[in-house]
Amino acid sequence: MLPDPVLEIAQITRGTPFENDLYLVGGAVRDPLLGLPAGGDFDLVTTHDALALAELLWLAGLSSIPPVTYPRFGTAMLVIQGANIELVTARAESYDESSRKPTVKPASLLEDALRRDFTVNALMIQIHNGTLYDLLGTGQRDLRDRVLRTPRPPDETFIDDPLRMLRAVRFRWKLGFTPAPGLWESIRHNRERLGIISFERIRDELVKMLLHPTAADALDDLMQVGLMELIAPEFLPMIGCEQGKWHHLDVWDHTLLVFRNLPSDAPLELRLAALFHDVAKPATRTIDPNGDIRFFGHETEGEAMTIKILTRWKFPTAIIHRVASLVQGHMRLGSMEKFTATAARRLVRDFDADLPLLLDLVEADAAALRPGVRMLDLSPIRERIEQVAIATPAAVIQAPLTGEQIMAILKVPAGRVVGAAKRDLEELIITGEIQPGDADAASQWLHENADRYCPPEGNG
């Protein structure tokens, strides 16, 4: 059964040159044949002019947006019933060695199938009569046998568009397929070619991997086939980095286990934090006189490495800082002898809405320790945090005085002194020495402690 937006396109194009020359292709064909949902994006190919087809559908009132066209590639984008529709003129492609942007020319449907990434993604359904076409002759068999195979020799497919190497890893685990003979060897051989791909496109593939339940397996494949050394060489020292008596796995395998321990609905920020939480352990590894392995400061160094790598991957600044904060904070609970209300208020202030993510990360990390090691029980900690967050939410853990009021009391100009005073007032709220919003108590405390900010020899 074809998706509703595609059926509507079929109805509108009857009696036009596109009738019986319009084919659904890609995941929307593959996934239903595997018993999976078709998804919300649909690719259609025709040997006629896809740009003219887009204009026809727009004038018929099907699309909620005007056609977005790419004449160089013979493609157009529409949105029909909320679904993204890509219309493509069947084409053949040739590539320059230094670029993944092809030179294209109109071609037959067979040539179009040959240019695609994998045989199972080249199956087509003629949308006017519902006939399934396997122009390569191997797509249906590979789908049945769950084999991931390129339409042409893999070296040609991957050299033309190196992003397909990442897609190979993603599809292997998303679909549960086995790589065809020579596929993985070709990726290892051509991995340096990934260097011509922008990190924005690499990031988008990584995000799709990370959000899938098989993310840990896909990440390990990236490491095994040599792609990780191009994406994040900082991860390579994690392999074989032993961690001592509390652990039974090296840092890399431990990281993958932490990833597997995350809640199934974990958001992207938590998944990234799990990937990065121990990234600095190899760089901070020491052995003390008793022979015990230590990683002092790995959370702080890991925060800096997280920012560096995620910036390279072109993630938005807001996501980078949220993930880096989780990495920096993942050791805080384990280092507390007693979890007090004051400690809970500090966590509420520092993490606010991301505090549940930090607790999930800590729990997943603790569950990945050596079997038999006493695990950190987060139940009472979660209860204490919930109580404190209700009584003292993050929004009220802030200095009761404005910067202007602090400057007037201390008689100082704007600068670091004002910031230090604000932080001290926040700390007093956290410890319960003054109440949230109590400006009078905050003013009195500042007057009594003005010397610490403005000693007699100067204003600091």
Residue 458 pLDDT: 46
What is the rounded average pLDDT for all residues in the chain?
Answer: 92
Residue 100 pLDDT: 65
Residue 387 pLDDT: 83
Q: What are phi and psi of 83, to 5 degrees?
A: -100, 140
Residue 414 exposed, middle or buried by CB count within 10 Å (0-12, 13-18, 19+):
exposed
Beta-strand (E) ranges in 238-389? 286-287, 293-294
For residue range 29-42, what is the model confidence (pLDDT) as tens digits? 999 999 998 888 99
Residue 459 pLDDT: 45
Read off the pLDDT band of 460 (50, 70, 90). Answer: very low
Q: Which of 163-172, 333-342, 350-359, 389-398 has the lowest mean pLDDT?
A: 333-342
Strand partners, 23: 45, 126
**What distance in Å separates the CA atoms of residue 18 and residue 50, rounded to the nearest whole number?**
9
Strand partners, 178: 147
Residue 346 pLDDT: 84
For residue range 417-444, what is the model confidence (pLDDT) as tens digits? 999 998 899 889 888 888 888 899 989 9
Residue 431 pLDDT: 85
For residue range 264-300, what is the model confidence (pLDDT) as tens digits? 999 999 999 999 999 999 999 999 998 889 999 999 9
Residue 383 pLDDT: 85
Residue 385 pLDDT: 84
Residue 308 pLDDT: 98
Distances from the Cα of 229 to the Cα of 222, 238, 378, 412, angstroms:
9, 12, 36, 51
Q: Check: CB of residue 12 under 8 Å from CB of residue 56.
A: yes
Residue 284 pLDDT: 96
Provide the percentage of residues in the chain whose pLDDT is more than 90.
70
Q: Is pLDDT above 90 for 245? A: no
Tokens of 27: 């995941």
**Average pLDDT in the 386-392 region?**
81
Which single residue is written with the structure tokens 């790995």?
298
Residue 322 pLDDT: 97
| Strand 41-46 to 83-89 pairing | parallel
Residue 436 pLDDT: 86
* Domains identified in the chain and CATH numbers: 4-145 (3.30.460.10), 148-231 (1.10.110.30), 233-396 (1.10.3210), 403-452 (no CATH)
Provide the percentage of residues in the chain whose pLDDT is more than 70.
96
For residue range 55-85, what is the model confidence (pLDDT) as tens digits? 999 999 999 999 999 998 899 999 999 999 9
**Average pLDDT in the 321-337 region?**
87
Q: Specify the higher pLDDT residue, 93 or 219.
A: 219
For residue range 40-58, what is the model confidence (pLDDT) as tens digits? 899 999 999 999 999 999 9
Question: Max alpha carbon distance in the chain (Å)?
Answer: 91
Q: Is pLDDT above 70 for 87? A: yes
Helix, strand, coil percent content, the chain, rounded in steps of 5: 50, 10, 40
Q: What are phi and psi of 251, to 5 degrees?
A: -65, -40
Residue 86 pLDDT: 97
For residue range 160-190, what is the model confidence (pLDDT) as tens digits? 999 999 999 999 999 999 999 999 999 999 9
Residue 32 exposed, middle or buried by CB count within 10 Å (0-12, 13-18, 19+):
middle
